[in-house]
């Protein structure tokens, strides 16, 4: 009984070390990728296209809708307690600092996290990964690094677009319902926006990008031989990504408030 | 190949560039809006408490933000020092005799620092000058002296509260004073207090006791005199016999009578003087007048007796009717309190 | 006669779950020769091949290449090693997201990044011409037949003209004409002095091309050595296995005994 527990713990630790080693490899190869600009350059472009550009419509709609809702709710409620000026702080806190990074991360987990895990898993099953090794191509540098960089870059950029649509786009939509003077709105927004907000938002996106890509690729490679393992690893990838992103979000928010 | 795939690089390029451009634009706008490159002027102020103060809190003048709080600290005198900066566009408002007011919203949220410039139209204050807060002694002095330009509060609730507050304060002070006054009077009336009224009343009651004693003595003397005057074998009657000493006294051609009369007249004058003296004293000690009145009364009776003796119909004359002289002051027991 | 070995396996053991797939295997793969690994299904032939090719890391034992342990090679040395080897997978294992052309050219562009696009194209086309593959190279593997995939997989393996070629069941899943073509291609490689290691059931391939034989059963090497020697083995197991394996194959002509007796060598 104790031996079983001990074995489990050792297994767990080994698993974590393995994962840590994997992450290290990924980071190293990504760094080298940027420096060497090998064959994977086209792969990187395609990755950003699929992960970033194709998710833009979802992100835009989400950002717009959220922004509009916040503005309308805020502008109905806040002036009643004489705090109309708080709407800008609320917008910045909700869209820039909190929902921007985490919602775009969720969108990317759902779209690209699943796709990457599935793709890599099926490549393992069909021995394509082995074929890469046989030719001498390091699968981490050729497959994982561009995905890692592509997903992280896409997340960063999508976060920015989320802010564009959430802060700016929603303004134009609200004009149809409850007009606010342009200068007043943007001045209010710019006064509430601190560089720390922007930094926190970008750092979050970066961390989430690393998490999503690393977890998806790691789980994809864990397939061994049967294609029935593929959905299992995808589920694991999604679950782990969600959890790690939320934990990272909490940690970064804490750091932001302790500064 | 699909359009998207064929122009993948261009699409991705545009995608990335627009996002980066947006970010750059926002950073620039923040820089302008939050005045990273503009000069701020720094000043200090002091408040009795840090409640309602926070770093970064805006300082407003007529609804415009002219600066913000940079630092808040507690000094050795347990007062709160704040360092704040004012934007260069508004530096000319920071004149001499300006004050800073901490406005708190009744709901507990919001509120802020409001700047009231001095009416002095001179040059702006030098950087790092001290600007007093409205509630400090200096601030109040400036306001009362009319050196600060303070507009009425625009927020209705704050205004009403602002006006009610001093009224309540005044009423409170008045009630406290009245209460003190009543306490004093009560104390005074009961004679327990140490103030003049109390001692006055205490002395008055002492004096009344003494006067009563004197009057009793006088009364007994008068009684004895009267008895002496009326008893046929008493000294008075004896004196009134034609062969008695009285006859002799009275028949000396009024010499003794004149002598006594003179004495009485002198006594009267003296008493009158005393009475005048007492009139002077009367403004503060009306009871002495009363006592003296009684004394005079008694002496008048004595005088009457002697006059009666002189004007005894057995001898000659009669008692002249006495003219009642009114007291020079109201008896102390007459007036009500 | 001690032949210089291209790859040498020393006491290699590989386990997955309880039963060992390779149990204390020690063999020598001589350079410039064609070695055929024979054995019943599931005996660990593919694993042995992959261990020899450095694709699978054994649990214990060493794989020696040019005097060095294959798994102790640094990254650069590893890439050089890979440049010298080609592997043909049993299921082709072509990269499904790339075209046939890209499958072949990727190795070229990876190892020679400075090679211009024209040159790459020229080389690919010469390879294609070599085997007489006339189908379109812009198709994806999924769009091609199994045989075509096998051929492209072979082309991919030899694109860099490696000195070591590993083949896992090269004639499986393909029709007769394509199989013949394949045998020709392998013979060409052999003619060029390459070291070839083949895992196969096919008796024709074995008899026509094998210089050396390795007989494997249940993860253990029963016999290994030159073809003529192994074929005349007195080991009962070897004999029964040989007959069993060679009779399992669906394509062979001629008498079994003929094959066992003399074997047509090149």
d(CA B100, CA B109): 19
Sequence-ordered alpha helix ranges (H) in chain A = 2-36, 41-51, 56-77, 86-91, 100-108, 114-125, 128-135, 139, 145-163, 170-175, 182-192, 195-221, 229-258
Sequence-ordered alpha helix ranges (H) in C192-252 = 203-209, 227-231, 236-248
Residues of B in contact with A83 (CB under 8 A): 109-110
Residues in C lying within 8 Å of A, measured between beta carbons: 50, 53, 55, 75, 78-79, 81-83, 85-87, 89, 91, 93-96, 106-107, 109-111, 113, 156-157
pLDDT in tens, chain B (337 residues): 577 777 888 899 999 999 999 999 998 888 887 777 778 888 888 888 888 888 888 888 888 888 888 888 888 888 888 898 888 888 888 888 888 888 876 665 667 888 888 887 778 888 888 888 887 888 888 877 877 777 665 555 555 666 677 778 888 888 888 888 888 777 767 766 566 666 776 777 777 778 788 788 888 877 887 776 676 665 656 556 656 565 565 566 667 667 777 877 787 777 777 777 657 655 655 665 666 677 688 778 877 777 776 666 665 544 555 555 655 555 455 544 4
- The pLDDT, as a whole number, for residue B292 is 67
- Where b means 16+ CB within 10 Å and e means fewer, A210-242 reads bbbbbbbbbbbbbbeeeeeebeebbebbbebbb
Residue B236 burial class via C-beta count within 10 angstroms: exposed 0-12, middle 13-18, buried 19 and up? buried
d(CA C131, CA C129): 5
The CA distances from residue B221 to B47, B133, B218, B225, B270, in Å, are 81, 81, 5, 6, 22
d(CA B103, CA B110): 9
d(CA C167, CA C91): 11
Q: Looking at the 3D structure of chain A, how many domains does it have? A: 1
Strands (E), chain B: 40-47, 58-61, 64-74, 80-87, 99-103, 112-116
Model confidence, pTM: 0.66
CB atoms within 10 A of CB B62: 12
For C165, nearest residue in chain A (alpha carbons): A134
Tell if the CB–CB gap between A45 and B109 is shorter than 8 Å.
no
Tell if the CB–CB gap between C113 and A127 is shorter than 8 Å.
no
**How far A49 CA lies from chain B's nearest CA (Å)?**
6
**How far A20 CA lies from chain B's nearest CA (Å)?**
30
> Residue A25: which residues within 8 A CB-CB, separation 6 or more?
A140
- The pLDDT, as a whole number, for residue A221 is 93
DSSP assignments along B53-110, one per residue: --TT-EEEETTEEEEEEEEEEE-TTS-EEEEEEEEGGGGGG--TT-EEEEE--TTSS-
Residue span of the structural domain in which A202 resides = 2-258
Residues of C in contact with A138 (CB under 8 A): 75
Predicted confidence (pLDDT) per residue in B22-67, tens digit: 999 998 888 887 777 778 888 888 888 888 888 888 888 888 888 8
- Phi-psi map region of B78: left, alpha, beta (phi>0 left; psi -120 to 50 alpha): left
Give B232's DSSP letter.
T
- The pLDDT, as a whole number, for residue C45 is 87
CB atoms within 10 A of CB A80: 8
Please tell me if residue A191 touches chain B, with a CB cutoff of 8 Å: yes
At residue C233, the 3 state secondary structure works out as: coil
Tell if the CB–CB gap between B34 and A49 is shorter than 8 Å.
no
The CA distances from residue C137 to A21, C119, C132, C133, C142, in Å, are 39, 16, 13, 9, 12
d(CA B7, CA B10): 5
DSSP assignments along A185-210, one per residue: HHHHHHHH--HHHHHHHHHHHHHHHH
Q: What are phi and psi of B35, to 5 degrees?
A: 60, 50
- The pLDDT, as a whole number, for residue C266 is 38
Edge-to-edge order in the sheet of strand C20-30: C20-30, C5-15, C60-65, C68-69
* Nearest residue, CB atoms, A134 vs list C55, C91, C113: C55
Please tell me if residue A38 touches chain C, with a CB cutoff of 8 Å: yes
**How far A184 CA lies from chain B's nearest CA (Å)?**
12
Residues of A in contact with C93 (CB under 8 A): 126-128, 130-131
Residues of A in contact with C114 (CB under 8 A): none
- The pLDDT, as a whole number, for residue B291 is 67
Predicted confidence (pLDDT) per residue in C209-265, tens digit: 888 888 888 888 888 888 888 877 788 888 888 887 666 543 334 445 455 555 444
Chains C and A share 3 or more Cβ pairs within 8 Å: yes
**How far C127 CA lies from chain A's nearest CA (Å)?**
17
> Residue A149: which residues within 8 A CB-CB, separation 6 or more?
A30, A33, A34, A44, A47
Low-confidence residues of chain C: pLDDT under 70: 1-3, 245-266
d(CA B284, CA A207): 95
Low-confidence residues of chain A: pLDDT under 50: none
> Residue B165: which residues within 8 A CB-CB, separation 6 or more?
none
At residue C227, the 3 state secondary structure works out as: helix
- The pLDDT, as a whole number, for residue C265 is 47
């Amino acid at each position: 009984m104790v031996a079983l527990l001990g074995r489990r713990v050792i297994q767990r630790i080994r698993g974590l070390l393995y994962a840590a080693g994997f992450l290290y490899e990924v980071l190293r190869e990504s760094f080298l990728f940027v420096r060497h600009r090998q064959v994977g350059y086209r792969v990187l472009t395609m990755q950003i296209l699929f992960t970033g550009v194709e998710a833009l419509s979802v992100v835009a709609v989400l950002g717009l809708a959220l922004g509009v809702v916040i503005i309308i709710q805020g502008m109905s409620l806040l002036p009643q307690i004489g705090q109309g000026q708080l709407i800008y702080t609320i917008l910045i806190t909700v869209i820039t600092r909190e929902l921007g990074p985490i919602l775009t991360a969720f969108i990317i987990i759902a779209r690209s996290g699943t796709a990457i895990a599935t793709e890599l898993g099926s490549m393992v099953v069909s021995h394509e990964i082995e074929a890469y090794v046989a030719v001498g191509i390091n699968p981490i540098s050729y497959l994982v690094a561009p995905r890692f960089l592509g997903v992280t870059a896409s997340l960063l950029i999508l976060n920015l677009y989320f802010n564009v649509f959430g802060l700016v786009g929603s303004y134009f939509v609200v004009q149809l319902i409850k007009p606010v003077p342009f200068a007043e709105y943007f001045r209010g927004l710019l006064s509430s926006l601190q560089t720390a907000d922007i930094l926190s938002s970008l750092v979050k996106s970066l961390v989430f990008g690393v998490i999503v890509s690393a977890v998806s690729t790691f789980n994809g490679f864990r397939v061994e031989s049967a294609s029935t393992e593929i959905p299992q690893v995808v589920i694991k990838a999604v679950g782990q990504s969600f959890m790690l992103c939320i934990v990272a979000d909490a940690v970064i928010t804490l750091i932001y408030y302790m500064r | 190949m699909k359009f998207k795939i064929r122009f993948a690089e261009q699409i991705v390029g545009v995608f990335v560039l627009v996002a980066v451009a947006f970010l750059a634009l926002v950073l620039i706008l923040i820089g302008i809006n939050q005045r990273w490159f503009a000069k701020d002027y720094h000043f200090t102020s002091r408040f009795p408490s840090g409640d309602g103060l926070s770093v970064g809190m805006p300082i407003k003048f007529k609804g415009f933000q002219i600066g913000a709080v940079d630092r808040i600290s507690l000094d050795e005198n347990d007062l709160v020092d704040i360092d704040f900066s004012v934007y260069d566009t508004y530096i000319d408002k920071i004149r001499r005799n300006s004050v800073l007011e901490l406005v708190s919203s009744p709901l507990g949220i919001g509120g802020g620092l409001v700047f009231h410039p001095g009416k002095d139209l001179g040059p702006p204050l030098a950087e790092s000058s001290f600007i007093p807060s409205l509630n400090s002694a200096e601030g109040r002095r400036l306001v009362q002296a009319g050196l600060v330009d303070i507009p009425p509060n625009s927020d209705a609730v704050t205004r009403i509260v602002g006006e009610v507050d001093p009224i309540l304060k005044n009423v409170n002070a008045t009630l406290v004073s009245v209460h003190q006054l009543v306490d004093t009077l009560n104390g005074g009336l009961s004679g327990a207090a140490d103030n003049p009224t109390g001692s006055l009343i205490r002395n008055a009651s002492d004096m009344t006791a003494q006067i009563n004693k004197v009057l009793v003595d006088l009364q007994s003397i008068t009684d004895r005199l009267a008895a002496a005057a009326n008893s046929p074998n008493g000294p008075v009657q004896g004196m009134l016999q034609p062969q008695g000493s009285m006859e002799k006294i009275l028949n000396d051609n009024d010499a003794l009578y004149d002598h006594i009369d003179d004495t009485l007249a002198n006594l009267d004058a003296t008493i009158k003087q005393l009475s005048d003296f007492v009139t002077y004293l009367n403004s503060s000690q009306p009871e002495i007048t009363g006592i003296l009145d009684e004394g005079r009364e008694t002496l008048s009776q004595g005088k009457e007796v002697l006059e009666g003796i002189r004007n005894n119909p057995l001898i000659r004359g009669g008692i002249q009717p006495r003219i009642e002289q009114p007291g020079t002051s109201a008896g102390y027991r007459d007036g009500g309190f | 006669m001690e032949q210089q070995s291209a790859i040498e396996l020393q006491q290699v053991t590989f386990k997955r779950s309880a039963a060992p797939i390779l149990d204390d295997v020690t063999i020598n793969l001589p350079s410039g020769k064609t070695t055929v690994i024979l054995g019943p299904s599931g005996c660990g032939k593919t694993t042995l091949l992959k261990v020899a090719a450095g694709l699978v890391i054994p649990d214990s034992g060493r794989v020696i290449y040019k005097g060095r342990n294959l798994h102790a090679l640094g990254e650069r040395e590893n890439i050089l090693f890979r440049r010298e080897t080609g592997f043909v997978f049993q299921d082709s294992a072509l990269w499904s997201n790339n075209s046939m052309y890209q499958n072949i050219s990727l190795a070229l562009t990876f190892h020679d990044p400075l090679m211009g696009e024209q040159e790459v194209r020229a080389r690919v086309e010469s390879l294609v011409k070599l085997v007489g593959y006339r189908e379109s190279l812009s198709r994806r593997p999924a769009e091609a037949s199994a045989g075509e995939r096998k051929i492209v997989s072979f082309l991919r393996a030899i694109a860099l003209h490696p000195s070591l070629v590993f083949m896992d069941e090269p004639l499986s899943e393909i029709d007769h004409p394509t199989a013949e073509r394949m045998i020709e291609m392998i013979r060409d490689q052999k003619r060029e002095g390459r070291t070839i290691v083949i895992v196969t059931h096919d008796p024709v391939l074995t008899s026509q091309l094998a210089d050396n034989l390795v007989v494997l059963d249940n993860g253990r090497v029963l016999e290994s050595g030159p073809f003529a020697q192994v074929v005349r083995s007195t080991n009962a197991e070897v004999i029964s296995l040989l007959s069993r394996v060679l009779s399992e194959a669906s394509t062979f002509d001629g008498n079994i005994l003929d094959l066992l007796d003399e074997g047509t060598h090149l």
